[in-house]
Amino acid sequence: MTREQLSLLSLDPAGAATYALAEGAVLLRGFAKSKEARLFADVERVAAHCPFRHLVTPGGFRMSVAMTNCGELGWVSDERGYRYSPVDPQTGFAWPAMPQSFFDLATTAARSAGYPSFVPDACLVNRYAPGARLTLHQDKNERDARAPIVSVSLGLSAVFLFGGAARSDRTARVPLVHGDVVVWGGPSRFFYHGVLALEGGVHPLTGGYRINLTFRKAV
């Protein structure tokens, strides 16, 4: 990745680097690494209650990324549209509570990026198998535009694509690797973004997958 895309904000004595990816977007490289075992065990616990599934877009396309949720609200999509729901439409039950490990990581990351009062009420869990991708989109189903989104990457690396406020803005490519946490606030909160098709591989923690957690304040 080029120097123009990543500008170093700070480097702590342990070597943890913080970069500005865009206006208001802070990459905390490796921030989640020391918590990986607990986080992944909790992903599996969430998925045991509400299994990963391929949602259908309002346009009728099956998403290549498999998803589940935890927290008070979960993001869902079907032919009727996108929305946050307090129940899993597949099971009719409430989503599992947000694991403490998730909540602690998201709030600690948000605090270090300048959002001390971030309290997520929804966590979307995305699972990428080789070939899975996310086309360029904006996240705008959340009510509070001041709250950031915190994203956590585990397992296989992916190339993240981010543009600007308009779909036609030029996009930059940034590899997101195991343990990376990004806090998307300020203007970047509504920037177009996506993920290129995942390459194959094997990760010691997640096997053939990339897992991404996105923490949101939905209401």
4-37 per-residue burial string, b: 16 or more CB within 10 A, e: under 16: eebeeeeeeeeebebbebbebbbbbbbbbbebbe
Nearer to ligand MD3, 35 or 193 (CB): 193
Using CB under 6 A as the binding rule, whether residue 139 contacts ligand MD3 is answered as: yes
Can you tell me the distance from the alpha carbon of 42 to that of 45, in angstroms, rounded to the nearest whole number? 5
Binding-site partner at residue 184 among ligand MD3, Fe ion, none, CB < 5 to 8 Å by type: ligand MD3
Stretch that binds Fe ion, among 29-37, 49-57, 138-146, 166-174 (CB under 5 A): 138-146
Binding-site partner at residue 188 among ligand MD3, Fe ion, none, CB < 5 to 8 Å by type: ligand MD3
Nearer to ligand MD3, 15 or 115 (CB): 115
CB 74 within 8 Å of CB 84: yes
Q: Scanning residues 193 to 212, which ones bind ligand MD3 (CB under 6 A)?
A: 193, 195, 212
CB 133 within 8 Å of CB 197: yes
3-state DSSP helix/strand/coil percent for the chain, to nearest 5?
15, 35, 45
Nearer to ligand MD3, 107 or 188 (CB): 188
Among 182, 183, 198, 218, binds ligand MD3 (CB under 6 A): 182
Nearer to Fe ion, 72 or 139 (CB): 139
- Closest approach, Cβ 139 to ligand MD3, in A, equals 4
Report helix angle 36-49 to 100-112, nearest 10.
130
